[in-house]
Amino acid sequence: MESINSADTKTRGNNNNTGNGTASPKYKLIYFDLRGRGEIPRLLFTAAGVDFVDERIDDQEKWFKVLKAKMPQRALPVLEVDGKKLSQSLTICRYLAREFGLIGKSSWEQARAEEVMDTMDDLRGEVAKWIHEQDQCKKAEIEERLKDEIYPKFTNILDTILKENVENNNRSGYFVGDNLSVADLSVFETFTFPLTIHPGILDDHPELLDHRERIQTHALLADYITNRPPRPV
Ligand SMILES: N[C@@H](CCC(=O)N[C@@H](CS)C(=O)NCC(=O)O)C(=O)O
């Protein structure tokens, strides 16, 4: 966790009306003042245009002395839905994606979206090894492995899934079916940090570069992505 020193809690989104006269739940996402495991949920709220309180914990001492003990699994992110707490970032993503219709149109499409999301979590784990390694020799070894083995493995997997979707007559340019889903947000966000340290990793995959551009310029996402707080991870 990077050092943290100022507080920030904002309400983001456009509306909290379900359209059928009933108010939608009150959402609060609690995470550190980073993208990290909190950012895909933030992108889901943004893509759905749903209000949420974006509570960013940036007082490390307060986290360890006070707040950590109040979290169900002593870790973040935590999603509050009308005051009820939900842990585990991927569970939160699945829940929000289902609530907002951002997880495909059939059970099969849902499974494919989750497959992409879980694959991106594997990549996140590999990149985290580089982030957390303190020994510079070992860090350099991890970096070589990332470039030679890990990035090619994951970009090839994603390339195949994207092309399969086109072969199945879905020409949207999204990973699953014809619509934006959590799969697209997950791919976009998971590559954001690796691209800052290794800018060329998508260069052999024009479809993945196009996909990145598609998300970055998406009508519901572009403003947020351009103006979101710049954080290293
Ligand atoms: N599998 C959990 C991991 C949660 C986790 O390890 N969160 C880290 C931040 S990414 C955390 O809370 N670290 C601070 C601490 O453990 O005190 C998830 O995906 O939500």
76 C-alpha to ligand 1 centroid (Å): 5
Please give the average per-residue pLDDT across 213-223, as a whole number.
Answer: 97
- Looking at the domain assignment, is residue 185 inside a domain? yes
Q: State if residue 76 touches ligand 1 by the CB under 6 angstroms criterion.
A: yes
Contacts of 106-113 with CB under 8 Å at 24 or more apart are 109/176, 109/177, 109/181, 112/161, 112/175, 112/176, 112/183, 113/175, 113/176, 113/181, 113/182, 113/183
Q: State if residue 79 touches ligand 1 by the CB under 6 angstroms criterion.
A: no
Domain residue limits at 130 = 107-222
Pocket test for ligand 1, best of 1, 4, 59, 118 (most atoms within 8 A of CB): 1
Give the domain-ending residue among 53, 68, 100: 100
Query: What tens digit of pLDDT does each residue of 49-105 get?
Result: 999 999 999 999 999 999 999 999 999 999 999 999 999 999 999 999 999 999 999
Same-domain pairing of 52 and 131: no
Distance CA 183, CA 221 (A): 15
Same-domain pairing of 59 and 117: no
Same-domain pairing of 112 and 58: no
Give the residue whose CA is nearest to atom 13 of ligand 1.
75
User: From the alpha carbon of 36, which atom of ligand 1 is closest?
Assistant: 10
Task: Give the CATH number, domain containing residue 136.
Answer: 1.20.1050.10
Query: What tens digit of pLDDT does each residue of 135-168 get?
Result: 999 999 999 999 999 999 999 999 999 999 988 8
Please give the average per-residue pLDDT across 117-139, as a whole number.
Answer: 97
**What is the per-residue pLDDT for 173?**
93
Give the domain-ending residue among 75, 100, 125: 100
12 C-alpha to ligand 1 centroid (Å): 23
